[in-house]
Amino acid sequence: MRRTLLLLSAVASLSACSKKETEIILPTDSCGAVRLQGLVGQPAEVLETIRFTQPVRLVRPGEAVTMDFSPHRLTVEANEADRIVRLACG
Evaluate if pTM is beyond 0.85. no
CATH number for the domain harbouring residue 56: 3.30.10.10
For residue 90, with 0-12 CB atoms within 10 Å meaning exposed, 13-18 middle and 19 or more buried, which class applies? middle
The span from the CA of 47 to the CA of 4, in Å, is 58
Domain hosting residue 35, numbered range: 31-90
Angstrom distance (rounded) from CA 16 to CA 25: 14
Judged by DSSP in three states, 23 sits in helix
Confidence class of residue 64 from pLDDT cuts 50, 70 and 90? very high
Say if residue 24 is in the same domain as residue 41.
no
Q: Are residues 8 and 38 in the same domain?
A: no
pLDDT in tens, 2-45: 554 444 455 455 555 444 444 444 456 899 999 999 999 999 99
The mean of the pLDDT values for the chain is: 81
Count: domains in the chain? 2
Is the domain of 22 the same as that of 37? no
Which is it for the CA torsion 28, 30, 36, 40, positive or negative? negative
Residues 70, 35, single domain; the answer is: yes
